[in-house]
Structure 1
Amino acid sequence: MKPISIMLSALVIGMVSSAVMADGVSLTNATSLPNVSPANSDLANRGAYIARAADCMACHREDYSGGVPIETPIGNIYSTNITPSERYGIGNYTEADLQKTLRKGRAPGHQIYPAMPYPSYHGMTDEDISALFAYFQTVPPVEAPPEKTTHLPFPLNIRTLMLAWNVINVPSTENRTGLTQTQQRGEYLVNNLEHCGTCHTPRNLTQGLDKDMYLSGAPLGKWYAPNITPDNESGIGRWSEQDIVTYLRTGMLDKRAYAGGPMAEAVAHSTRYLTDEDLSAMAAYLKVVPIIQTDDKMIPVDVSRLPRPLSSSITYNLLEQKDYLAQAKTSVLSNSNPDNSNSPKSLYLSTCGSCHGVDGYAQPDARYASIVGLSSIRRDKPDALINVIAYGAKGALNTAPKMPGFSKELSHAQIASITNYVRVNFGGHSRSDVSATDVKRILK
């Protein structure tokens, strides 16, 4: 998954002037849905919405030209060109071909690797696939192959092996009974179109989804997709349905969560464009999925243990914060202790303070992220925080600055020191004892 590149310039950016329906839901309350044009049919415009809901752009780019590396345990798998180019894309596909591709991972002439989430798309409705097919006929063709293509070592390059894999792992989920109509819609979005389990569900020995641990959190390269079951201790049980909607719309939840990495891309490419009804349906469903408690628990948000802004204006006044930061650095470094430059506070101020603020509340007007109270800081395990410090992160909106990684600038001991400082001062932990050895193990 990659950051947003370029919007399709040949298609109109904005809302449809008339109400376009997606399974009975008006699209007129979606957030500036790109690639929807009054010149296209209602069916094609509905397909543009389905493409957003299915998060196609995160892997195939905004122009669908492909070439995005998808990290898997067996190596990088590169996405393909899915524009209507007859030579390089899917211009020769019939609607039946698209159905087989989405539901069975079977493209004309070859089997697809499940890096394309067809185990989840298996449950897509005929109506949504028809709309998606109509939409892709309106996309400007890209008459070029992706810069890189998939080349896996033997025997993983034998794609027919996926047929046996499919028997075991497709579909990736099963529909539940006893849900309300709203929850059923949410189940379809979470399980099938948005394929949330692809990241948030652990894998079994065959690298299929472990259905018994559905949505309970899973490692994802340098990231960890957290538990999103309604468990109060390790999941999102303390979030209200409106909290979930706000997070999926904006990628932020004050003093609780900030979307980075793959989740930021999911928000940027997909969930922020969904209708209020669909986001509410997803939230309603996530509140009733089976509760699973994992060992990566979080301490509850305790506002009394979190820092207060240094002044009523410093969080928004960049000059005031700049001056205060300079004074704080001078005060810390002027201490007679020769090792003070490597003290936790001085390391935080010199490495993190100019963006995240001396008090952790950052600079919202400049799109820098507040880190006070974030769930990644409040968790028992420091893995997520350490990985962000080491490798950086990108926010959900392309107007937000990208956080750089410090794995080459900071030692393991320095990363551990900053981790401990942040967890205690901005996360509410009573103590934090992350060591250089812990950092080395986590990064490895």
Structure 2
Amino acid sequence: MKPTLKPLSIMLPLLALSMSSAVMAEGISLPNVSPANSDLVNKGAYVARAADCMACHGEDYKGGSPIATPMGDIYATNITPSKRFGIGKYTKQDLKRALTEGRAPTHRLYPAMPYPDYHGMTDADIDALFAYLQTVEPIDEPLEYKTKLPFPFNFRSLMIGWNLVNLTKTEPPKNLTEGQKRGQYLVDHLEHCGTCHTPRNSTMGADNNKYLAGAPLGSWFAPNITPDKDSGIGSWSEKDIITFLRTGELEGRAYAGGPMGEAVAHSTRYLTDTDLSAIAAYLKAVPAIQTDDKVHHVDSSRFLKPLNTSITHDLIAQKDVLQRAKDSAGDRNSPKALYLAACGSCHGVNGYAQPDAKYAPIVGLTSIRRERPDMLVNVIAHGVEGASNTSPSMPAFAKELNPEQIAKITNYVRVNFGGVDDSNVSAVDVERIMTAKPEQPFLIKYAGILASLGIIAVILIVGFIIWRLMRPRRAR
């Protein structure tokens, strides 16, 4: 799954910073970094975080997580140094080919492993990552599930043609500062932000004409992160971007949920301040692209106000206020009553939540002010994992509430806490959003039929040639 505020000028060593025991990110210790390890191994631990390897392969790197694609689920593999089930037999060159070309020693990789983005990784980072992966605990267990895609995608040799079309280098904006260049490297390669935020073309490659302008992710949607002020993050300062990537939250505007919550939890919160500043500076420098999923600009004076100045910190008082609100809500199936029953205990009667307990305030969030209600519906239906170990998770309500009830809560939240004029999300809309599948371009959707027709055509042509060659010639 992005011009111009004056960029933050930062001088940044190209990760030539010594990643010894001192790799810290604003008080957050980077896991797996130890004084007992070499600087190269510790740098590799940082590269693994910056490349978000854990999002698919897990914190223990054993793999097994399904990655939904229009062709079917692709399962992440074991990348521990297990010689039988992992990459214990890989050479450094093997790892480089896997990361930059999508080639394992015995087969082609699918681009669910983001080698089209890792294609630009430096040799120094790959060397460090290789050294680090040799030190993680080997897991000598077979995966429960393996990737089994339907015909013709089960022929991995097709990736040769896909790579010829899509494995191309894109030119970053010109006249970048040194800090922005580092940010471009992180955004485009290590953090592979475009994997989620850039739409796909008919071959499922990146549509770079809409670079970072937002894209569907199954039932989720990765928003526009270009600096467009109506549909992107143009109203965010560089400091705002840094805060969001560090904490997964931006008070009154954004909260990282779904895949982005995972990215913060596994990766961005561990990055150095310098690298986060570089990302922020670069995102303010990319071309702005406006999309139709605009964020409603509203007057904050229209939001519901806190009941009093201390209510968000007084949990006992909140409990009493919530009970009184429930008692006076009337019909249990009214939008307000449904919100209070499902959401009020965490997010508060008026949406200001319990910051001391790390429950997120939802007043003014951009996710509830967008033209599309998809993100809010998905959060209610599927829940949200916290972006840190201490952040509470939001439960999923898809099994407890029917689509009509979710629609009512969605509308109530958008109007009362998002300040939008009106919201008309229906049960049909909720069902569509909750059951959305990855979009299938024509070539992908009908690939099996097209491949079969191609095989038949080849057989006919070969048969015709053989018939012509074997046909007895007339005597002259």
- CA drift at 1:26: 5.7
Aligned-partner residue type, residue 39 of structure 2:
D
- CA drift at 1:174: 3.1
Determine the structure 2 residue equivalent to 1:336: none
Distance 1:79 1:172, change over 3 A: farther
For residue 131 of structure 1, the aligned residue among 125, 128, 133 is: 128
TM-score (structure 2 length as normaliser): 0.85
- CA drift at 1:369: 1.5
- CA drift at 1:413: 2.0
Contact 1:65–1:145 (Cα < 8 Å) also in 2: no
Structure 2 unaligned runs (5+)? 1-12, 436-476
Provide the rounded CA distance (Å) in 2 between the counterparts of 1:410 and 1:64: 36
- CA drift at 1:225: 0.4
Contact 2:173–2:286 (Cα < 8 Å) also in 1: no
User: Matched residue of 1:406: which SS?
Assistant: coil
Provide the rounded CA distance (Å) in 1 between the counterparts of 2:373 and 2:224: 15
Aligned-partner residue type, residue 223 of structure 1:
W
Determine the structure 1 residue equivalent to 2:101: 104
For residue 214 of structure 1, the aligned residue among 211, 216, 222 is: 211
Q: Does 1:393 align with 2:387?
A: no
Determine the structure 2 residue equivalent to 1:39: 36
For residue 420 of structure 1, the aligned residue among 406, 411, 434 is: 411
Q: In the TM superposition, what whole-angstrom CA distance separates every residue of 1:355-388 from its partner, at most 9, and x where no partner exists?
A: 1111111112222221111111011111111121
Aligned-partner residue type, residue 323 of structure 1:
D
Higher relative contact order (CA 8 A, sep 6+): 2
Q: How does 1:261-272 map to 2 (within 5 A)?
A: 261-272=258-269
- CA drift at 1:305: 1.6
For residue 401 of structure 2, the aligned residue among 410, 421, 438 is: 410
Provide the rounded CA distance (Å) in 1 between the counterparts of 2:49 and 2:102: 20
Q: Does 1:378 align with 2:375?
A: no
Contact 1:261–1:393 (Cα < 8 Å) also in 2: yes
Determine the structure 2 residue equivalent to 1:11: none
Distance 1:168 1:402, change over 3 A: same
Determine the structure 1 residue equivalent to 2:242: 245
Provide the rounded CA distance (Å) in 2 between the counterparts of 1:301 and 1:182: 34
User: Matched residue of 2:97: which SS?
Assistant: helix
- CA drift at 1:441: 2.8
Contact 1:26–1:275 (Cα < 8 Å) also in 2: no
Q: How does 1:173-212 map to 2 (within 5 A)?
A: 173-212=170-209
Provide the rounded CA distance (Å) in 2 between the counterparts of 1:87 and 1:343: 58
Q: In the TM superposition, what whole-angstrom CA distance separates every residue of 1:213-258 from its partner, at most 9, and x where no partner exists?
A: 0100011012110000000000000000000000000000000000
Determine the structure 2 residue equivalent to 1:284: 281
Provide the rounded CA distance (Å) in 1 between the counterparts of 2:105 and 2:282: 35
- CA drift at 1:435: 2.1
Contact 1:199–1:225 (Cα < 8 Å) also in 2: yes
Provide the rounded CA distance (Å) in 2 between the counterparts of 1:236 and 1:188: 20
Q: Does 1:440 align with 2:431?
A: yes
Determine the structure 2 residue equivalent to 1:235: 232
Aligned-partner residue type, residue 406 of structure 2:
I
Determine the structure 2 residue equivalent to 1:429: 420
Q: In the TM superposition, what whole-angstrom CA distance separates every residue of 1:379-421 from its partner, at most 9, and x where no partner exists?
A: 1111111121122221211322222222232222221211111
Q: In the TM superposition, what whole-angstrom CA distance separates every residue of 1:271-301 from its partner, at most 9, and x where no partner exists?
A: 0000000000000000011110000000235
- CA drift at 1:332: 1.6
Provide the rounded CA distance (Å) in 2 between the counterparts of 1:409 and 1:23: 48
Determine the structure 1 residue equivalent to 2:343: 352
Contact 2:228–2:288 (Cα < 8 Å) also in 1: yes
For residue 171 of structure 1, the aligned residue among 168, 172, 175 is: 168
Provide the rounded CA distance (Å) in 2 between the counterparts of 1:140 and 1:434: 49
Determine the structure 2 residue equivalent to 1:89: 86
Q: How does 1:334-353 map to 2 (within 5 A)?
A: 340-353=331-344
Distance 1:25 1:245, change over 3 A: farther
Aligned-partner residue type, residue 347 of structure 1:
L
User: Matched residue of 1:238: which SS?
Assistant: coil
User: Matched residue of 1:128: which SS?
Assistant: helix
User: Matched residue of 1:110: which SS?
Assistant: coil
TM-score (structure 1 length as normaliser): 0.91
- CA drift at 1:76: 0.9
User: Matched residue of 1:224: which SS?
Assistant: strand
Contact 1:29–1:276 (Cα < 8 Å) also in 2: no
Provide the rounded CA distance (Å) in 2 between the counterparts of 1:436 and 1:147: 36
Contact 1:22–1:49 (Cα < 8 Å) also in 2: no
Q: In the TM superposition, what whole-angstrom CA distance separates every residue of 1:108-162 from its partner, at most 9, and x where no partner exists?
A: 0100011000000000001100111111111121111222211112221111111
Equivalent pairs, count: 418
Q: Does 1:80 align with 2:95?
A: no
Determine the structure 2 residue equivalent to 1:71: 68
Determine the structure 1 residue equivalent to 2:116: 119
Aligned-partner residue type, residue 181 of structure 1:
E
- CA drift at 1:429: 0.7
- CA drift at 1:172: 6.2
Determine the structure 2 residue equivalent to 1:12: none
After the TM superposition, which of the residue ranges 26-35 and 245-254 deviates more from structure 2? 26-35
Provide the rounded CA distance (Å) in 1 between the counterparts of 2:337 and 2:24: 47
Q: Does 1:23 align with 2:15?
A: yes
- CA drift at 1:29: 4.1
User: Matched residue of 2:74: which SS?
Assistant: strand
Q: In the TM superposition, what whole-angstrom CA distance separates every residue of 1:2-27 from its partner, at most 9, and x where no partner exists?
A: xxxxxxxxxxxxxxxxxxx8623465
Provide the rounded CA distance (Å) in 1 between the counterparts of 2:218 and 2:393: 19
| Superposition CA RMSD, Å | 1.4
Contact 1:356–1:362 (Cα < 8 Å) also in 2: yes
User: Matched residue of 1:107: which SS?
Assistant: coil
Contact 1:70–1:79 (Cα < 8 Å) also in 2: yes
Aligned-partner residue type, residue 97 of structure 1:
D
After the TM superposition, which of the residue ranges 76-85 and 340-349 deviates more from structure 2? 340-349
Provide the rounded CA distance (Å) in 1 between the counterparts of 2:213 and 2:337: 37
Q: In the TM superposition, what whole-angstrom CA distance separates every residue of 1:52-90 from its partner, at most 9, and x where no partner exists?
A: 000001111111111111111111111111111111111
Provide the rounded CA distance (Å) in 2 between the counterparts of 1:87 and 1:69: 21
Provide the rounded CA distance (Å) in 2 between the counterparts of 1:106 and 1:45: 26
Provide the rounded CA distance (Å) in 2 between the counterparts of 1:272 and 1:171: 30
Provide the rounded CA distance (Å) in 1 between the counterparts of 2:213 and 2:281: 17
Provide the rounded CA distance (Å) in 1 between the counterparts of 2:14 and 2:178: 15
Determine the structure 1 residue equivalent to 2:58: 61
